[in-house]
A and B are shown apart, each in its own frame.
Chain A
Amino acid sequence: GAVVSQHPSWVICKSGTSVKIECRSLDFQATTMFWYRQFPKQSLMLMATSNEGSKATYEQGVEKDKFLINHASLTLSTLTVTSAHPEDSSFYICSASWGDEQFFGPGTRLTVL
C-alpha cells in the first residue's frame, strides 16, 4: 500500500526557535498533501492543503506566516513552525492523497519548552 513517512517523529525545542517537519510519500506521487494538528484526546484539525508547485491553502485561523508550508516536489512537503512557543506544542500529522484516498504519516510530536 501507499506509505507516508514523517520526520522527525518527535522533537523538543526551545521557545523562539523554528522547527521543520518533513512529510514524504514513499511509493507514490502526491499532488496534494494535507497538514493536520491534533490536540490530546481531540480530533484532527486541518491546518492547510498543500499542492505541489503552488502556495498552500490555509484554514481559517491558521497563521500562514507561522506555519510555513513548502511542497516542492510530488513526494515531499515540509511544515516549518517558525518562532515556536509552548502553545504550538502538539501532534502534527500529514497526509497525502492518491486517487480518492488519503494516506497518513505517523505524526510528529512537537514539544516547545
Chain B
Amino acid sequence: AQSVTQPDIHITVSEGASLELRCNYSYGATPYLFWYVQSPGQGLQLLLKYFSGDTLVQGIKGFEAEFKRSQSSFNLRKPSVHWSDAAEYFCAQGRSNYQLIWGAGTKLIIKP
C-alpha cells in the first residue's frame, strides 16, 4: 500500500538557520507530491507541489523541495527560517481520483 513517511515528529531550529524536513514516499513511477503547512486556526496551505519536470521545485514563503527518485524522497528546505514559520508541515502523495496520502506531519519549533 502507498505510504508517506515523515521520520521527524518535531524539529527545533533557531531563527535564521536553515531547515530541511524529510519526506519519503513508497509508491509511484511518477508520483505527485505535495507539501502543506498547517498553522493553528488556519486551513492547510499548499507550499509547493511536484508532478514532473525540474526536480527542484520552488514554493511560496521561500520554501523549496527536491524530488529524488533514487531515494524516494521529497525533502522540504528553507535557507533561513522565520519565527512565523513555526507550524505543522505535512508531506502528501497524490493517487488516483485526486486523493492524497498523508505523512504524519512534522512540527517545526523556532528558537528565538
Contact = CB atoms under 8 A, between A and B. Distances in A.
The answer to whether A and B assemble together is yes
Of A44, A100, A105, most buried by chain B (CB within 10 Å of CB) is A44
Contacts of A101: 46, 49
A56 interface: no
Given A49-B97, A100-B51, A44 B102 contact: yes
A106 B41 contact: yes
B44 interface: yes
A105 B43 CA distance: 5
Interface string A69-113: 000000000000000000000000101010011111111000000
Interface string A26-63: 00000010100000011110100100000000000000
Nearest to B88: A41
Nearest to B41: A106
Contact of A4 (B43, B51, B97): B43
Given A32-B98, A101-B49, A106 B43 contact: yes
A32 B103 CA distance: 22
Please report whether the interface of chain A is mostly helix, strand, loop or mixed according to DSSP: strand
Contact of B99 (A42, A49, A100, A106): A49
Nearest to A98: B98
A43 B104 contact: yes
13 contacts: A4-B43, A42-B104, A42-B105, A43-B104, A44-B44, A46-B100, A49-B99, A93-B44, A95-B44, A97-B98, A102-B98, A106-B41, A106-B42
Interface of B: 32, 36, 41-46, 49, 51, 90, 94, 97-100, 102-105, 107
